[in-house]
Amino acid sequence: MDFDALFDDVYPKLRRYCMRMTADRDLAEDTAQEAFVRLLDREVKGGDAGVRSWLFKVATHLLRDRARVRSNRLRLLESRGSDGLPGPAPGPDPAEELEREERRQVVREALARLDERDRTLLLLREEGLSYRELARVAGVEVASVGTLLARSRRRLERELTAPVDT
């Protein structure tokens, strides 16, 4: 796959992954693009799957580094829920918009309460990475990915239904 085709295929997923990880559009786009900048200067082996998992791995490491630099924690933990975007645009039904934003906030906070490995596995799987790719990015055994995925989904479900501390 040439660079443009690869970019068209992977960039939207990588951006979404970073966006879900950070809830910060600027940081997500910057990180996803930085991963591709690094790809241009490297020869990554393993075919398309190898390149794709390499990109997600680089982005994951970049997010981790940047989160550390930025107050040593992911922005997910911020309680205000800013995602770097303007607030919800006034729509025909402000109440509906408000409700949607509240749902986002609940999911963000639930994700933030997961440990990093669970969060990474969940979000990577949502982008279509295979177990082998997940193992490569998250640094776990392929044979344990199914167990870890099932466990992380259960934890997310529990966090989503847990009473919110006030």
Partner 1 sequence: MTQHELPFDESGDEPTSRPDDASPPEPEPEDHPDEGDLQAWIDGELEPARAREVGVHLELCSSCRVVVEDLGDRARSTTRALAVLDRPAPEAGVDQARWNVRRRRLASRRPGASRRGVAAAAVLVLLAAGAAAALPGSPLRGFLWDDSGDREVRTLEPTATEAGLPRAGLALGYRDGRLEVELDGWPEGRTVELRSGEGAGVEVESWAQTGFRTGAGRVTVPGALLPEPPSEPTGGDPADLVIRIASGPGEVLVRSGSRLLVRWSGGSFQLGEGIQADPLSDGVRLQVPEARQ
How far apart, in whole angstroms, are the C-alpha atoms of residue 52 and residue 14?
9
Nearest-approach distance from CB 130 to partner 1, in angstroms: 7
Q: Torsion-angle region of residue 146: left (phi > 0), alpha (psi -120 to 50) or beta?
A: alpha
Closest CA to 21 of 69, 71, 73: 73
Q: Which of 108, 109, 114, 121 binds partner 1 (CB under 8 A)?
A: 108
Q: Which of 64, 66, 113, 153 binds partner 1 (CB under 8 A)?
A: 153
Give the DSSP letter of residue 160.
H
Nearest-approach distance from CB 166 to partner 1, in angstroms: 22
In contact, 84 and 26? CB cutoff 8 Å: yes
Residues 6 or more apart whose Cβ sits within 8 Å of residue 141: 135
In contact, 160 and 106? CB cutoff 8 Å: yes
How far apart, in whole angstroms, are the C-alpha atoms of residue 54 and residue 93?
42
Nearest-approach distance from CB 69 to partner 1, in angstroms: 19
Q: Is 7 an interacting residue with respect to partner 1 (CB under 8 A)?
A: yes
Closest CB to partner 1 among 5 and 98? 5
Stretch that binds partner 1, among 56-64, 67-75, 90-98, 139-147 (CB under 8 A): 139-147
Q: Which residues bind partner 1 (CB under 8 A)?
A: 1-5, 7-8, 11-12, 15-16, 19-20, 23, 25, 29, 32-34, 36-37, 40-41, 83, 85, 100, 103-104, 107-108, 110-111, 122-123, 126, 128, 130-131, 143-151, 153-154, 156-157, 160
